[in-house]
Amino acid sequence: MTPDSEHALAEAVASATSPIRVQGGGTRLIEQVDGDVLSTTGLSGITLYEPGSLTLVAKAGTPVAQIEAALAAENQRLPFEPMDHRTLLRTTGTPTIGGVVATNASGPRRIQAGACRDSLIGVRYVDGQGTIIKNGGRVMKNVTGYDLVKLMAGSYGTLGVMSEVSFKVLPGVETSATLLLHKLDVSGAVDALSKALGSPYEVSGAAQCLVKGITALRLEGFEESVSYRLAQLRNLLVEYGDMEELHGEASEALWLANRDMKHFSGVEGDIWRISVKPSDAPAVVASMPTATNVFLDWGGGLIWAVVPQGTDVRTPMGRISGHATCLRGSAQTFPPEPPVMAALSEGLRAQFDPRGILNQGVMG
C-alpha cells in the first residue's frame, strides 16, 4: 500500500483487517515486525518553507536529501544532523523525513542542538483507527499539544502513521574544524571529551573511534570564532598529548562518516547501539571484551559496538543504567521494558491503536 494523500492513508488504515508494517523509504527496517507494508513514500513534497521564520513543513515521505538541498540553498540546516542508516544496516532505498522522526534519528550535533524531537514543532498523523489528527503547529510560537508532538518522535510507527511534519531550522555554518587527540583509552577519551564539552567553546561533536585510536572534537561557526575557540581548546587539553587539526572539507568528511557510522562498513557481526551516562562508557566497553569495533559519540553517551554474532550484550552490562538496542543481529531489537514502563506503553497504544495493528513487535 502506497497512499498518495492523507485521506487515502486514513482509508488504508481504517480498512485494514490485519497487521500493518509502516515504513518510509525502507532504510531503517526492524526485523521483528510483520504485516502488510504501508509505505509513506507516496506522500512527498515540501508544503511550506519560510526561511525568514526558520520554519519548514514537509510530507512524511519526502526524501531527506530533498529537504537538506532546499535548506542548503538558503544556507540553513536541520539542527539535529539526521543519521543515514543505510551503511550500518546494509539497506537500500531513500531515507525519508517521516522515517527520521519515527526513529528520532539524530547525529553527532545532538549534544549541542538536541535530538530530532527537540526541533519538531508539529505533526499530522493517522491513528490506528484511521482518524486524521493534527498536533502542534507550523511556527515556533505555536506549542499546542507540544508533548504529543514529542511523543510521536521515536515511536517507530506504533502510535500512528505520520503524514506531515513541521520543524524549526537553523542557519548554516561558515566553517568547521576538528581537533584530533591520539591513542587515548576509553577512560582517557571520555575524560577529554567531558572536559571539552564542559568548556565555553561550543563543541558540536565529541567522539572516539577506539580501533583507530582517534578522539575527535568539532567546532563550527564563523571562521574567526572557530579559530579562536580551537586555539583555546588546544590549551585546555594540552595534557592529553599530541594533537592534530582538520579544517573545512576534511573536517566535514570525518563527521559525515561519524554520523552515518561508515567506520562499520563491511564489518561482520552484530551491531549494537547503547545509550548510557558518559561516565559509564568505560564500564560498558569493558563488559564487551569480544567487541571487534567500538565507537563512542555524544561525549561517550552513545556507544556503537560490533560483537560476534549472537553475543549477549545486555546481561553483562548488569546494573549499569542505559538502553541497549540491537540494530543488526539475532537479538530482540529493543530490550524488555520494566513493568511500570510496559504498562504505560500499553496504555498509550490502547489509546492510539486500540486494534493493535501498527508495527506489532516493536519495543516489547
- What mean pLDDT do residues 20-30 have? 84
For residue 239, give the 3-state DSSP assignment.
helix
Cβ atoms of 80 and 116 closer than 8 Å: yes
DSSP state of 336: P
DSSP state of 102: H
Alpha-carbon dihedral angle through residues 307, 209, 222, 76, given to the nearest 10 degrees: -20
- Give the N- to C-terminal CA distance of the chain in Å, as an integer: 25
Closest CA to 137 of 168, 104, 99, 96: 168
Closest CA to 36 of 54, 13, 57, 67: 13
pLDDT score of 363:
64
DSSP state of 337: P
Q: Which residues contact 306 (CB under 8 A, 6 or more apart)?
A: 264, 267, 269, 270, 271, 272, 291, 292, 293, 294
pLDDT score of 146:
43
- What mean pLDDT do residues 312-317 have? 93
For residue 134, give the 3-state DSSP assignment.
strand
pTM: 0.91
Which phi and psi angles does 294 have, rounded to 5°? -135, 135
Strand blocks (E) in the chain = 20-23, 36-39, 46-50, 55-59, 76-77, 120-126, 132-136, 161-168, 170-171, 175-182, 203-209, 214-221, 243-247, 270-276, 293-297, 302-307, 322-328
Tell me how crowded residue 173 is: count the other CB atoms within 10 A of its CB: 17
User: How large a percentage of the chain has pLDDT more than 90?
Assistant: 71
List pLDDT tens digits, range 118-163.
Answer: 999 999 999 999 999 998 766 555 444 447 888 899 988 889 999 9
